[in-house]
């Protein structure tokens, strides 16, 4: 990503794909408070694989000592120097002109940015606090133990006590990347447990295609949720009420603490989204949350223990969704 470094303070700015420099704290990505800085002083943007800058400041913007023509886009190159206004405090070094990427940018520390893949366990896979992922419709979602919410460009989140801002590149170019094609087929889940239930294998079925997810600890958490849905169906509960289980109760039944339960859920969702990203619009709902409770999403599934089928589940429409004669 594009990076500017202040020559006086050493402060670093990571450029967003459309980046505003100015005195207006509400509209500027980089806020400069000196009186010679205009409310909207300069714009930087990524276009056609290059960084450009345009000056709109009353006291000018200077590139390698040369004042820029107001309102005219000028190519920006590495190792150049930018000065906004007349103060030497606002002299910046162009350290990097790489393309913008989707990333979490630290706002209150000098830590490096976190470049994002399509699915991310944060801050790391060993002890995740949250999972941040992109659906097939190009929507970014954040899941924590307390909530699942949609994030837009510029939204902030707290990670390990530090504040980060989500930066999603907006490309000014002849063509825009489109969202991935999202297949209509909802995956079918197959759970296979050993007789002693020490090992749980999970497979995804799409018509005649099968994806083996192997044996994982978090698969037993999912099959436990599947069993709860199956029992509730057998009790003729409406689909809207099926499968919910208190998180503390589930953690106790699995012999783990609530923190480890959340880690297992994060890992399960992360594995599914990485293995089958084209079906992410369905798989993001593998575990549904409400306050204090979770359940398996409304997927059809089979549970096999040893060589015996323990149960089969096929979601039916919720009673409230059925039409009336």
Tens of pLDDT, residues 85-121: 999 999 999 999 999 999 999 988 777 889 999 899 9
Residue 182 pLDDT exceeds 90:
no
pLDDT in tens, 125-180: 888 999 999 887 788 999 988 888 999 998 999 998 899 999 998 765 544 444 44
Predicted TM-score (pTM) of the model is: 0.72
Residue 174 CA to residue 48 CA, distance in Å, equals 8
Residue 320 pLDDT exceeds 70:
no
Q: Which of 20, 23, 39 is nearest to 31 (CA)?
A: 23
| 277-304 as b/e: b if 16+ CB within 10 A | bebbbbbbebbbbeeeebbbbbbebbbe
Q: How many residues does the chain have?
A: 325
What is the model's pLDDT at position 171? 63
What is the model's pLDDT at position 268? 94
In the chain, the percentage of residues whose pLDDT exceeds 90 is: 71
Contact between residue 316 and residue 202 where contact means Cβ atoms under 8 Å apart: no
Give the confidence band of 287 by pLDDT, cuts at 50, 70, 90: very high
What is the model's pLDDT at position 278? 75
Residue 79 pLDDT exceeds 90:
yes
What is the model's pLDDT at position 321? 42
- Provide the 10 A C-beta neighbour count for residue 109: 10
What is the model's pLDDT at position 65? 95
Domains of the chain: 2-97 (2.60.200.20), 103-167 (no CATH), 188-321 (no CATH)
Contact between residue 263 and residue 125 where contact means Cβ atoms under 8 Å apart: no
Strands (E), 81-198: 81-84, 91-97, 103-106, 114-115, 119-122, 130-134, 140-143, 148-151, 156-159, 162-167, 188-193
The 8-class DSSP code of residue 99 comes to P
pLDDT in tens, 38-66: 999 999 999 999 999 999 999 999 999 99
Q: Which of 224, 233, 258 is nearest to 319 (CA)?
A: 233
């Amino acid at each position: 990503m594009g990076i500017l470094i202040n020559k006086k303070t050493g402060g670093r700015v990571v450029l967003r794909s459309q980046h505003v420099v100015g005195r207006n704290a509400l509209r500027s990505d980089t806020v400069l408070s000196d009186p010679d800085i205009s409310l909207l002083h300069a714009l930087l943007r990524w276009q056609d694989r290059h960084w450009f800058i345009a000056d709109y400041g009353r006291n000018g913007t200077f590139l390698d000592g040369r004042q820029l023509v107001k309102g005219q886009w000028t190519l920006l190159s590495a190792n150049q120097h930018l000065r906004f206004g007349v103060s030497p405090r606002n002299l910046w070094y162009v350290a990097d002109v790489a393309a913008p990427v989707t990333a979490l940018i630290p706002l209150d520390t000098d830590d490096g940015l976190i470049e994002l893949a399509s699915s991310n366990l944060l801050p790391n896979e060993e002890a995740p606090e949250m999972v941040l992922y992109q659906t097939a419709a190009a929507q970014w979602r954040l899941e924590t133990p307390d909530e699942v919410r949609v994030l837009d460009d510029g939204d902030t989140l707290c990670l390990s006590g530090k504040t980060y801002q989500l930066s999603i590149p907006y490309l000014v170019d002849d063509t825009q990347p489109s969202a991935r094609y999202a297949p209509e087929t909802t995956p079918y889940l197959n759970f296979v447990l050993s007789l002693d239930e020490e090992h749980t294998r999970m497979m995804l079925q799409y018509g005649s295609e099968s994806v083996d997810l192997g044996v994982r600890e978090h698969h037993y958490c999912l099959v436990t949720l599947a069993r709860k849905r199956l029992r509730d169906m057998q009790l003729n509960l409406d689909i809207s009420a099926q499968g919910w289980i208190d998180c503390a109760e589930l953690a106790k039944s699995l012999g783990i603490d609530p923190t480890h339960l959340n880690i297992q859920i994060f890992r399960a969702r992360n594995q599914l989204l990485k293995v089958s990203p084209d079906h992410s619009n369905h798989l993001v709902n593998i575990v549904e949350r409400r306050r204090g409770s979770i359940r398996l999403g409304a997927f059809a599934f089979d549970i096999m223990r040893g060589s015996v089928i323990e149960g089969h589940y096929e979601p039916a429409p919720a009673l409230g969704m059925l039409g009336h004669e």
